[in-house]
Amino acid sequence: MTCDFKSFDFPSASTSRYLESVNTVLEKSLKGVYAFFDVLEDEDHFQEVLHKAAELKEKFSTFVILGTGGSSLGAKTLCDLSTNPFQENVHFLNNVDPLTIHHLVDVLDLEKTVFIAISKSGSTAETLMQTLCLMKVVEEKGLDVKNHFQIITEDKDSPMDRLAKKYAMTSLTHHKKIGGRFSIFSNVGLLPAALSGVDIKILRSSALVAFKNFKETSAVDHPAVQGAISSALHHAEGRNISIMMPYLDRLQSFAAWYCQLWGESLGKEGKGTTPVVALGTVDQHSQLQLYSDGPDDKIYTFLVQDTSKVWLDRNLTPNGYVSMDSKLEYLKDRTMGDLLFAEARATMEALEHKERPVRAIFFAKMAEKELGELLIHFMLETIICAEIIGVDAFDQPGVEKSKVLTRSYLKNLRS
């Protein structure tokens, strides 16, 4: 994977003042401060995930993940790497829209289904409501809930912990020093990934190599450092929106994961930039007009695979009509992958022509190795940027008020 900051220069005069922040992250990395990186080397933790995945696969064919935010976005990113979206065996319920849950329940074979509820705090209202309602569904089918529910939560007293003990549900421990949005390489992300068929050994190995490379690379030369500095410098110039635009459907969930990681880590004390998900080619037809001709308040990251050179044995090609209409000459002897790659290049070049700041991350293919590297890159970029702008990347004080109000409104409904 290569990072190419096509429209941004990194003169030493601009970057030198940020190197102290970069070195702070590097020093913390070397000292093992970041538990979400250290878990990559926790062999006992990894083997527990492998054992649990094998155990569940022997008993069940369908797996439903109950969780929200960091308890599901990372796992969904991993699962989308290998899952056929039209034949999923791992489903994610990350909201409390009752109709969505009804639709899923209607098509599940509950005897062959296990629900995995994930909440670090053990008190997430949405996850608790999902779990309790689905327990009732399972009970009404005459099934024993303890056999159909697994819990991942911190090893401490909480509603989720008490629920698991009351019903003798099997629990895995959520690492107490790893927040949800950074939990993708822990059991929170790896267990669903293993259940969906992702080779988590390759993923883990790639992530370890990428993290090691950061610790051994000259700071200013590392793409994650350049990305963090780029964001800070552009923010200072009034560009406070960060567009993440993959040109692969499988990476749309990655963009959603990035949005939480970036937004919740940096958006504090009036600081931070707003992350936005876009998908190529879809959003060329909904957002490109704004990006190209609207206010110059955005930076753009494109995730691009050369799809003209992959899946050659099954790359879709037009039927014979393409030769009958002169207006379709440009599609003759071309594949659908050719079109996707050409549109990615054209969109980037069009934005560069308008002097918009564009970064492109290219990869020859997208599999476990590439995704592991990509995830480490953006985790590093996020925590480095947090150091640069002077915020704590690991808290989220701004969400507490809405939680208090939610509980208050629910109590008032009863009265």
Catalytic residue list: 264, 285, 403
For the record, the structure tokens of 320 come out as: 């014979």
According to DSSP, residue 297 is labeled -
Provide the β-strand partners of residue 306. Answer: none
**Which residues have CB under 8 Å from 136's CB, separation 6+?**
none
Query: Is residue 183 packed enough to be buried (19+ CB in 10 Å), middle (13-18) or exposed (0-12)?
Result: buried
Cis peptide before 281 (omega within 30 of 0): yes
**Which residues have CB under 8 Å from 283's CB, separation 6+?**
245
CB 210 within 8 A of CB 377: yes
CB 56 within 8 A of CB 214: no
Provide the β-strand partners of residue 303. Answer: 246, 361
Q: How far is CA 118 from the centre of its chain?
A: 16
**Which residues have CB under 8 Å from 249's CB, separation 6+?**
85, 279
3-state secondary structure of 376: helix
